[in-house]
Amino acid sequence: MEQDVESSAAVRKPKLPKQAREDLPKQLAEIDRAKKIQRYVQKDGKCNVHHGNVRETYRYLTDIFTTLVDLKWRFNLFIFVLVYTVTWLFFGLMWWLIAYLRGDLDHLADGQWTPCVNNLNGFVSAFLFSIETETTIGYGYRVITDKCPEGIVLLLVQSVLGSIVNAFMVGCMFVKISQPKKRAETLVFSTNAVISMRDGRLCLMFRVGDLRNSHIVEASIRAKLIKSKQTKEGEFIPLNQTDINVGYNTGDDRLFLVSPLIICHEINQHSPFWEISQAHLAKEELEIVVILEGMVEATGMTCQARSSYVGSEIKWGYRFMPVLTLEDGFYEVDYNSFHEIYETNTPACSAKELADMAARARLPLTWSLASKLSQQGLAESEQEGQDSKAGPESQDKAAERNGEIANLESESKV
């Protein structure tokens, strides 16, 4: 038997001061709050995945256009300026080299000499002529003459390559500017997802909205459950993706996003939340990634907005506050209440347990009694077949059992 007696050999822990004992829970709470939640997708839609140890970096150069578009703006502008400056310097050097080899720089004061390019007297003037040629400015001061075939060939090459550089760089900048990423900034998701009853079924819900008056055409919504799992064979699958049905079978996943909508996922036997209760949800390490896609009405380009909900952001037993009101001749959306939720009566058990309780509640008492009697009757009929061979004593016992069954039936009717 254990006794609450302190042993003489036991080492006593030093007693903390009163102020330290009072501050310790606060410090632990602050540490817990400061601990960051590891997300797969951030709330603003950015994917929290970094690619490391990529050895085949040449693959980025095979698709140089997409690589340039994906670069940050500061690098993109730096490359834009660098490409034009390098081409102007290169062809300026070529124009200066032609003038140097032909001896034009040695006959600057000779009025009888026909240079390749008039008024080209050094590298700086050759560089300015290169800029005028590639950008087709044409000030008219420096002009190529017809006595320089090598200059004519260089003029053709620079005109063609300059057009290619212009098309590539201007096209890259146009695509970079017209990307619909910023359009996704006006597509908003609710801060929290909620779980509550709707039409007698347990449902997971979140809200989406569009802040602009120009609409998203062909808008559709998808949801994925990100959760690590282990197979029956022992294989561990990190960040396994499971599809969450938000109305794919009924067409509810295709949205007419004029006003904020509540996206509903019914938790049924096909749902990954079928066996998850309120207590179980608080312990689960999971993340729900929601993806809203559609075409921008103004440009026709495809836009995608993403967000995510971790376990602590899924509120059990809550609903969303209404945001739509009818005014004089129009409907008004109050975005101040877009993220607000209120508590509602919701069972804390899982959807599976709720379905089992509902099935047991619908089971009538007379059906269970009749089923029990039929099972007894089947067993006793088999016993009667054996007793008929045994003699009259066994038949008397069978008659007594039949009388007991009749009494049970009469009592159930009463």
pLDDT of residue 380: 55
Three-class HEC string of the chain: CCCCCCCCCCCCCCCCCHHHHHHHHHHHHHHHHHCCCCCCECCCCCECCCCCCCCCCHHHHHCHHHHHHHCCHHHHHHHHHHHHHHHHHHHHHHHHHHHHHHCHHHCCCCCCCCCCECCCCCHHHHHHHHHHHHCCCCCCCCCECCCCHHHHHHHHHHHHHHHHHHHHHHHHHHHHHHCCCHHHHHEEECCCEEEEEECCEEEEEEEEEECCCCCEEEEEEEEEEEEEEECCCCCEEEEEEEECCCCCCCCCCEECCCCCEEEEEECCCCCCCCCCCHHHHHHCCCEEEEEEEEEECCCCCEEEEEEEEEHHHEEECEEECCCEEECCCCEEECHHHCCCEEECCCCCCCHHHHHHHHHHHHCCHHHHHHHHHHHHHHHHHHHHHHHHHHCHHHHHHHHHHHHHHHHHHHHHHC
Q: Round to whole Å and give the CA distance between 210 and 255.
A: 11
CB contact at 8 A, 195 and 205: yes
Q: Which two tokens stand for residue 375?
A: 């099972």
- Residues 378-395 pLDDT 10s: 455 555 555 554 555 555
Indicate if the pLDDT at residue 329 is higher than 50.
Answer: yes
pLDDT of residue 306: 94
Provide mean pLDDT across the span 4-33.
Answer: 46
Say if pTM beats, i.e. exceeds, 0.75.
no
Residues 157, 81, 140: CA angle, nearest 5 degrees:
50
Indicate if the pLDDT at residue 89 is higher than 90.
Answer: yes
Question: What pLDDT band is residue 261 in, cutting at 50, 70 and 90?
Answer: very high
Indicate if the pLDDT at residue 168 is higher than 60.
Answer: yes
- Structural domains present in the chain: 62-178 (1.10.287.70), 183-354 (2.60.40.1400)
Indicate if the pLDDT at residue 163 is higher than 50.
Answer: yes
pLDDT of residue 358: 85
Greater model confidence, 28 or 90: 90
pLDDT of residue 316: 95
Q: What is the mean pLDDT of the chain?
A: 81
Indicate if the pLDDT at residue 407 is higher than 70.
Answer: no
Q: Round to whole Å and give the CA distance between 294 and 224.
A: 18
